[in-house]
Amino acid sequence: MKVGGKQQALLTAVSLIVLVLTIVTLAASGNRDAAIAPGGPSPDDAQQILIHGLRDQDITITLGDLKKLPTVTRYAEATRSNGEEVQVWATGPLLDTLLKKYGKSQQEFSRIRFTARDRYAIAVPADILKNCPIVLSYVNDGKPLEDDWQPVRVVILGARSMYWVKGMIRIDLETGADRIPAKKLVFLDTVVNTLPQADYGDYGSPGKVVRIRNLIAQYGGGSSVQNVFIEAGDGLEKNETATNFLSGYIKISGAGAPKFLAPGLPEGMTIRGMLTINYGATAFFDYAEGLDVLPGQAFGRHAGIAFSDIVKQAGLTGANDYLFTRTDGGSVMVATTDMGNGLVYEDAGGALAFTSSGAAGPVNIDDLLSIEPVT
């Protein structure tokens, strides 16, 4: 049958409408696996990704290997620390699809660390691994990745954008506890005043910093640590390698303090408002940050943070007695039974102090440096 010009135009318009409706339907479903096909062979397919912790020896795969795996397309969104919204349709295999080839799944690991070409690295904790699909994306929004994002962009559904690693070239599969039980709590506010300080401006914000190597050398209690667990006041929890941690500084004044930063690491690896740092069996606690995010308490004429909340935050609960050490090296042993209304507060001179209503009378300790549980 011969089709006239007007009929042909009408058929073309109808076809376009059907195509648009199909794309909209797929987008609304949150799954566009059929909408975007994986790209064909490319010179970029030779780019390598190293996987550590899957076998006795490291494994190296290529982008081409990933493209041979079953592919999904998933919509993900997240908010950056500056409030900016990030949205993407990510195409690639699921991490679980890759691990399944080796008889594993992401839920079997306590954390998985992704490292980028620019040295950005972050460990994804167990709660995210148990609940959030991870796409090893090599196509974003229907387009191949930009050169500096290749070979893969890690996109994690339901997780903060800080876990979305672009230019990912290494996967470390790790087991074991996120943090070692603490045997000592050190007040960060106190000890930074005993260390050399330097002026430091980052991203337009001036302030003072202390070198982390100096902090750990004096108060860290050992150098055989591989993993450092950091928790920020806003609830962020992050595992950092000891190598990266020791290479940096803690900014103790200015915006975001106390802030972890390192000149050789990307800006995205900074951590603002640190509340606790678990370095081996030593927990560093920042009183000023705790005052902002933990429940306040008053005892007598003092206001501060309940002792029970501090030891719970640091994981020091369950002791029979607690050894309090002052900045001058003197120490006081306090029984748990004398901890009624125990309070840590800042005195008029800016030093930390402890007070409680002991059985034999009030307990008062000035110039507080550290606390150790005694069982």
> pLDDT (tens digit, 9 = 90+) per residue, 305-316?
999 999 999 888
Please indicate, yes or no, if residue 112 is contained in any of the structural domains. Answer: yes
In this prediction, residue 267 has a pLDDT band, given cuts at 50, 70 and 90, of confident
Please indicate, yes or no, if residue 5 is contained in any of the structural domains. Answer: no
169 and 217 together in one domain:
no
39 and 62 together in one domain:
yes
Q: How many CA atoms lie within 13 A of 372 on its CB side?
A: 13
Kindly report the average pLDDT of the chain as a whole number: 86
pLDDT at 223: 61
Residue spans of beta strands (DSSP E) within 233-328: 237-241, 249-251, 259-261, 274-279, 282-285, 296-299, 302-306, 321-326
What is the separation, in whole angstroms, between the first and last Cα of the chain? 94
Please indicate, yes or no, if residue 24 is contained in any of the structural domains. Answer: no
- From 153, 174, 195, the end of a domain falls on 174
Three-point CA angle 125, 126, 131, nearest 5°: 110
Minimum mean pLDDT range among 3-17, 207-221, 242-256? 3-17
In sequence order, what are the residues at sequence separation of 6 or more whose Cβ sits closer than 8 angstroms to the Cβ of residue 29? none
- From 228, 262, 288, the end of a domain falls on 288
226 and 268 together in one domain:
yes
Q: Which domain holds residue 46?
A: 35-174
Percent of the chain whose predicted confidence (pLDDT) is above 70? 86
166 and 40 together in one domain:
yes
Residue 142 has pLDDT above 80, yes or no: yes
Please indicate, yes or no, if residue 19 is contained in any of the structural domains. Answer: no
pLDDT at 20: 43
In sequence order, what are the residues at sequence separation of 6 or more whose Cβ sits closer than 8 angstroms to the Cβ of residue 86? 77, 78, 79, 80, 161, 164
213 and 252 together in one domain:
yes
Please indicate, yes or no, if residue 124 is contained in any of the structural domains. Answer: yes
Break the chain down into helix, strand, coil percent, rounded to 5: 25, 40, 35
In this prediction, residue 351 has a pLDDT band, given cuts at 50, 70 and 90, of very high
How many domains does the chain divide into? 3
> What is the rounded distance in angstroms from the CA atom of residue 331 to the CA atom of residue 286?
20
In this structure, which amino acid lies at residue 270?
A: T
273 and 321 together in one domain:
no
- From 288, 318, 341, the end of a domain falls on 288
204 and 324 together in one domain:
no
> What is the rounded distance in angstroms from the CA atom of residue 30 to the CA atom of residue 25?
9
